[in-house]
Structure 1
Amino acid sequence: MPQIKDHAYWLERSEKLQIEGRAFIDGAYVDACNGATFWSQSPIDGKPLAAVALCAEVDVDLAVAAARRSFDAGVWADKSARDRKAVLLKWAALLEAHAEELALLESLDSGKPIGDTTGGDLPGTIYCLQWFAELVDKVHGEVPATDPQFFGTVTHQALGVVAAVVPWNYPLLMAAWKFAPALAAGNSVVLKPSEKSPLSALRIAGLALQAGIPAGVFNVVAGDGAAGRALSLHPDVDCIAFTGSGKVGREIAKNAAASNLKRVWLELGGKSANIVMADCPDIAQAARSAAAAIFSNMGQICSAGSRLLVQRSIATALIGELLEVSKGYQPGHPLDPQTVTGAIIDNAQLDRVCSYIEIGKQQAQLLSGGNRLSLADAGAYLEPTIFLAEDASARIANEEIFGPVLVVILFDTLDEAIAIANQTEYGLAAAVWSSDIKTIRTATRKLKAGTVWVNCYDELVDMNFPFGGFKESGNGRDNSAHALSKYTELKSTIIRCC
């Protein structure tokens, strides 16, 4: 009889979990050169999980040197696309075989509900790796029409060494969005996970080697901002891809310019608007979707629907539905499969979110939530919080909070809603709910956002769609065939035939 995977099951597995905290450089797990470590602590209860190698500049140098040697030797870059595909698919199969272990690592390390990591994050990571593996032998160059005396081609070539600096909110998934296309294109990679959630990235490095990715092609260096800074300044890194805050993104761009003008791809913040018109086809569904858009993953999503813009005539009905639905997002223990909402990543982030709640109380009407909770004897937990703001220019309606805090703003006309939606510095995502095709067409055309959903919010997981933002939400796109080209250089080859 199969074992029931309940709260007790995951607690028992967590007690037996073997955790790797060393860096992975040139095909081997190694300590930091100076022996320094830091503790990875679980936001579930504040307890330490593992001592992790605190990589410094010298460790980054070793990882980059290994990546450069492997690239120049052609042990990966010179493989046929078909051969790279086979290895990446084998790696994806190993991730699937170890999915429970990796999901548990992510839940312990980031405070995410085990239902999210087993049902969303790990399947999404595997899907991403499989998708780019399957894509890489199906892309082609060009043969431009030219003078008959000449023959020419336009081809894509791997850049070389790619550094990926990724955040803590989706530790493996955000990493896969970078390393999957970079590796598929033939590059060697140095991955720097967030110091707040490094464990799953360190674990998959060993599986990469087991799958057949040659030593030096995939390296993982854990550490704080010093390691990321060293990568952004390193003269032998050809490209750096980053997901995180605008402040750090600016520093990375500045460092890239100050060093070797390496390619820079940035996926930064958001303050996304979810617009509900009076002719919304289903108010109850819009309320459910709005709650999921901000309270899923504890609101720690760059594309979270953190601003809910509601046409005034339906405000009472929609807010009533929303308040009822939000009761289902009360935090619980992340290792309980029944839990929908887990812990904030750490107390520093919880303090930051709570400071915005205090600001919000001065600028808007608190409709529900706003209180810290004590669960699992400790940990970082917060009630889902909803404000009604009369002033669309309030700080909580314009600054990224990155927590389970929703700001409801009322409007009268579509033009007003679009103006409010576009007034922030960000342009990552947006949504519009309406039954009128003219309204939908106007909104989707005028909203300054990289992704616009209609009568839904972030409900489709499909790698065919590029993800990224307008304005200060960054540049370039993750996912889709467009992402593969970010990690290549275009080369024109012209041959005189006669």
Structure 2
Amino acid sequence: MTTQLFINGEWVPGSAAAINTLNPATGEVITGVASASPAEVDGAVAAARAALAAPAWAGLLPVQRAALLFRLADLIEENAEELARLETTDQGQPLAISRAVSVTGAAEHFRYFAGWVTKIQGSTNPISYPDTLHYTRREPIGVNALITPWNFPLMILSWKLSPALATGNTVVIKPSEVTPLSALRLVELAVRAGFPPGVINLVTGDGAVGALLSAHPDVDHLSYTGSTAVGRVITRAAADSNLKRLTLELGGKAPSIIAADADIDAAVAGNLAGAILNSGQVCAAYTRFYVDAAREAEFVDKMAAGLAALRLGPGLEEGTQLGPLVSERHLTHVRDLVAGGLRAGAEVITGGQRAPGAGYFFEPTLLTGVRDDMAIMHEEVFGPVLAVTAYDAAEELDAVIARANNTEYGLAATVWTRDIATSQRLANGIRAGAVFVNMPPIPDMAAPWGGYRASGWGREMGPQALDAYTETKAVWLHYGRE
């Protein structure tokens, strides 16, 4: 497969120094990937601008545009095993996750938004002016920069790219330099699907390339998934350039509240799935647990047993349940947060160390004795690390909600209870963009996704994603006699 830039329908070598992408299971170089220069970023944006109004794209009927998205979904499925193995090699996630979540999810997003193409409607409005027709149109916002993270490269690109194309926009994709390979392959498939030149462009490189897009005066909308710190930098750059619209899906520190009446076995299984998916490298991963004191010992024992039983290994090995972290740098971040928790008084029940051998493996870790003021309870770990604290049964639910909300983030949360009233009270009180009751945090293409506070701006997926990629134009038509 190519590892070049894709600009205006052509694969071109990057002018800047190539960047190696590594296999996190071994630490070995997979391949070198091109890096874009400022001139090449400008070229990609210019190509997207020109394609926006070109008859080959703007002149397509809705049903024709939908057909391109459906065709791309078919190509993803036809190449599913190749894509899954590529994603696992580059990112580390187990094949079971690459197949069932990443690749399947990518195809589902393109099909979902392909279905929307023929249903994007305006409205007529009963305004209080005589002899005047007022109606609205939903129009493409323009050139969109899509900056994607390293944890779910293929799926997260798909949930940005599919609504952008469905609404008639053009794009410049900038994947993480840590995991660029599945984005490159997806663009190859988009070419096969028949998207016109300039509609989809891709520039690889490090954060400097993303910074150029953030500040670019001819980018109309930027969608970014990644850290809150970088999100703040993007926001300042966008404000200082052209006040481009932003969609930001940023960090998270999802609380999990386990009530006294919860089915503990179900809570353990669901929290395991929600905490260690992709080795905990998920913005919505369950990482801090508030357990009714009467059930804490049982929950901790069963959770420790579940973590200890997980099969840790390379993602390409069938049966692996927990793969490596994405890089040496990220492993150091996780290890340092765990060590800081131990210095502050937390206790390791299981795990807590880098796993022996090659690659960036970290043992699934369970900590108890944590306090709300510890860094491990309010900083994003992004690894297979679970911190458990108890709450008194006599404590008011409002107090538990306040503890759960004691974070700058607000992306996701979960509640475990058999009582509908308790579930509703907690779900209503927790300030997060998504609250899951008795289930893991797996997004769906039909449901809006995004966060409160430092977890971001706007919503992706579902009908709400259409708002991110369109402008509403109001048309006033006076037809009365002069």
Which residue, 410, 413, 418 being the options, matches 1:430? 413
Which of 440, 453, 463 aligns to 1:481? It is 463
Report if aligned partners of 2:341, 2:370 keep a CA contact under 8 Å in 1: no
Mark the runs of 5 or more structure 1 residues left unpaired by the alignment.
Answer: 1-18
- One-letter identity of the residue aligned with 2:437: V
1:416 matched residue in structure 2: 399
Does 2:88 align with 1:117?
no
Q: In structure 1, what is the equivalent of residue 269 of structure 2?
A: 288
Aligned to 1:15: none
Q: Secondary structure at the match of 2:320?
A: coil
> Per-residue deviation at 1:148?
4.5
How big is the shift at 1:295? 1.1
Corresponding residue for residue 452 of structure 1: 435
Deviations 1:292-349 (CA, angstroms, capped at 9, x unpaired): 1111101100000011110101111111111111123341121111101111001000
Q: Select which of 58, 79, 104 maps to 1:98.
A: 79
1:217 aligns with 2:209: no
Alignment root-mean-square deviation, CA: 1.2
Q: Provide the residue aligned with 1:227 in structure 2.
A: 209
C-alpha displacement of 1:415 = 2.2
Q: Secondary structure at the match of 1:112?
A: coil
What is the alpha-carbon distance in structure 2 between the residues aligned to residue 379 and residue 67 of structure 1?
39
User: What is the Cα deviation at residue 454 of structure 1?
Assistant: 1.0
User: Which residue identity is paired with 1:85?
Assistant: A
* CA shift for structure 1 position 58: 1.5
Q: Which amino acid aligns with 1:400?
A: E
Is the counterpart of residue 440 in structure 1 residue 423 in structure 2? yes
Q: Does 1:404 align with 2:387?
A: no
User: What code does the residue aligned with 1:456 have?
Assistant: M
Q: Secondary structure at the match of 2:53?
A: helix
Aligned to 2:25: 44
Whole-angstrom CA distance in 2 between matches of 1:119 and 1:432: 25
The alignment status of 1:199 with 2:181, answered yes or no, reads yes
Q: Distance in 2 between matches of 1:97 and 1:28?
A: 24
Aligned-partner residue type, residue 406 of structure 1: L
Q: Do 1:330 and 1:383's aligned partners in 2 also have CA atoms closer than 8 Å?
A: no
Q: Where does residue 371 of structure 2 map in the other structure?
A: 391
Once residues 333 and 464 of structure 1 are traced to their aligned partners in structure 2, the CA distance between those partners, rounded to angstroms, is 32
1:402 to partner: Cα distance: 0.8
Please give the alpha-carbon distance, in whole angstroms, between the structure 1 residues aligned to 2:131 and 2:62. Answer: 31
Measured in 2, the distance between the counterparts of 1:249 and 1:78 equals 35
- Secondary structure of residue in 2 paired with 1:494: strand
Partner of 1:6: none
Residues 77 and 158 of structure 1 are in contact (CA less than 8 Å); yes or no, is this contact kept in structure 2?
Answer: no
Matches within 5 A, 1:51-450: 51-146=32-127, 147-280=129-262, 282-363=263-344, 364-375=346-357, 378-412=358-392, 413=395, 414-450=397-433
- Secondary structure of the structure 1 residue equivalent to 2:98: helix
Q: Which whole-Å CA distance do the structure 2 matches of 1:137 and 1:425 have between them?
A: 39
Counterpart check, 1:491 vs 2:480: no
Which residue identity does 1:57 align to in structure 2? P
Offset of 1:33 from its aligned partner?
2.9
Letter in 1 for 2:414: A
What is the CA distance between 1:185 and its match in structure 2?
A: 0.4
Q: Residue 156 of structure 1: CA displacement?
A: 0.7
Return the alpha-carbon distance in structure 2 between the equivalents of residues 394 and 239 of structure 1: 37
- State the identity %: 40
Aligned partners of 2:333 and 2:231: how far apart in 1?
A: 20
Q: Tell me, in whole angstroms, the C-alpha distance in 2 between the residues paired with 1:101 and 1:322.
A: 34
Distance apart, 1:72 and its partner CA: 2.6
Alpha-carbon deviations, 1:190-235, whole Å to 9, x = none?
0100000001101111211111100110011110001000001111
Shift of 1:75: 2.6
| Distance in 2 between residues matched to 1:389 and 1:59, nearest whole Å | 52
CA contact (8 A) 2:120 2:138 kept: no
Local SS of the residue matching 2:57: coil
Q: Secondary structure at the match of 1:381?
A: coil
Runs of 4+ in 1 over 6 A off after TM superposition: none
One-letter identity of the residue aligned with 1:244 = G
Relative to the length of structure 2, the TM-score reads 0.97
Tell me the alpha carbon deviations over residues 158-185 of structure 1, each in whole angstroms, 9 at most, x when there is no partner: 0110000010000011111111101110
2:5–2:11 Cα contact (<8 Å) kept: yes
| Secondary structure in structure 1 of the residue aligned to 2:155 | helix
The whole-number CA distance in structure 1 between the counterparts of 2:78 and 2:384 is: 33
Q: 2:412 touches 2:441 (CA, 8 Å); kept in 1?
A: no
Q: For residues 115 and 444 of structure 1, what CA distance do their matches in structure 2 show?
A: 31
Q: Residues 163 and 190 of structure 1 are in contact (CA less than 8 Å); yes or no, is this contact kept in structure 2?
A: yes
Q: Alignment partner of 1:374: what SS?
A: coil
Unaligned runs of 5+ in 2: none
Kept in 2, the 8 Å contact 1:369–1:383? The answer is yes
Indicate conservation of the 8 Å contact 1:88/1:130, yes or no.
yes
Distance 2:469 2:172 in 1: 13
Asked if the contact 1:191–1:221 (Cα under 8 Å) also holds between the matched residues in 2, the reply is: yes
Deviating more after overlay: 83-92 vs 387-396: 387-396
Kindly tell me the number of residue pairs found equivalent between the two proteins.
Answer: 475
Inter-CA distance 156–312: structure 2 relative to 1 (3 Å threshold): same
Q: TM-score, normalising length from structure 1? A: 0.93
Q: Counterpart of 1:409 in structure 2: which amino acid?
A: T
Partners of 2:439 and 2:94 lie apart in 1 by 23
For 1:76 and 1:306, the matched residues in 2 are separated by 44
Please tell me whether the aligned partners of residues 23 and 221 of structure 1 are also in contact (alpha carbons under 8 angstroms).
Answer: yes
Greater displacement, 79-88 / 412-421? 412-421
Whole-Å separation in 1 of the counterparts to 2:323 and 2:24: 9
